Amino acid sequence: MKITVFGLTISSSWGNGHATPYRAIIRALHRMGHQVDFFEKDVPYYSSRRDFESCDYCRLTLYPDWQHIRAQALQAASESDVVIAASYLPDGKQICDELLDLCRPLRVYYDLDTPVTLKNMAEQGVEYLRPDQLAEFDLVLSFTGGRVLNDLEHHFGVRMARPLYGCVDPDIYMRVEARREFVCDLSYMGTYASDRQEKLDELFLEPARRHTGREFLLAGSLYPWEWQWPQNVCRIEHVFPGAHPCFYSSSRLTLNLTRHEMARNGWCPSGRFFEAAACGTPLITDWWEGLDSFFDPGSDLQVVATADDVESTMQKQDEDLHAMAARARERTLDEHTGDVRARQLLQYFEEARSARPANVLAEEVAR
């Protein structure tokens, strides 16, 4: 099968959560014998922090602007079995219009930011998608499940909405030796977001202020570095993907925090969950609806709501934390790998193709 993807970025993991799941899923599709083309606009904030410019599991095309690449991209898309457009795609509205004019390929939209997309679309619109375009796709995939799927089908007229959650590639994310620069009692990896800041202060910075003898490590971009940070909080702007296993393997505990709109809708596991779990690192997290469908709270990970909760977990014995991490790792390798998501994706393609409207199928045959 030939699949063409138009996405935000696969080449750079800086300041976004898109690149890592793309890599895991597309790498798995490649192992299964499928061909994937990925078109990515070459923008300065990614090009200066790029992890690679080519890879061996898909054909990556970096382009300066849509008009420059339009003919080549549409030719590749028209020859594909499936074409995918994704959230935060530069020039997304125009590209979606052009892809929706194609009849041969299955036309798929993948939103890796669904609650944010729908909220902003209702308030002021988004640059990368119009509401009417959603209903034209054969399949809409969402990084978030639960009520969002119902909203897509019943309020936006989506023909078929399915969840495609985050995942991890266990060939890359595994337990490795700790590195001194990453050794800490509690780590947090995440880009700055204003709607996460209250949780970050309560569940990360407050425990650091209370325990000056412990080491805390925050990795993430866009934070106001002029803040009055606790002296025992080490800050790193970016950890390259190749060093993520070292980062997690060096953490006694790691924290997951969920953006407000994602948590409000629920069913929103961050890819960081699965990365940390695959590395055998004990997890603590805020609560959101559906969490217990991915992990068993209290057994696989610890849910925290206050600084006191974090302190209580940090006081647990190492053997208890390691046992908790081992259970989370086992479940992750069984249910949340790139191979699992790739198989789900192929199943969704088959369902959507079987459900295509008769007029679309007739046009495809005629062409």
Tell me the per-residue pLDDT of 71-108, one tens digit each, with 9 for 90 and over: 999 999 999 999 999 999 999 999 999 999 999 999 99
Please check the confidence at residue 2 and state whether its pLDDT lies above 50: yes
Across the chain, where does the E strand assignment appear? Answer: 2-6, 35-41, 59-63, 82-86, 106-111, 139-142, 161-163, 184-189, 216-219, 233-236, 251-256, 283-285, 302-303
* pLDDT tens digits, 178-189: 999 999 999 999
Q: How far is CA 215 from CA 124, 206, 226, in A?
A: 42, 13, 20
CB 38 within 8 A of CB 61: yes
CB 115 within 8 A of CB 152: no
Record the pTM: 0.92
State mean pLDDT over 300-328. 98
Q: How confident is the model at residue 227 (pLDDT cuts 50, 70, 90)?
A: confident
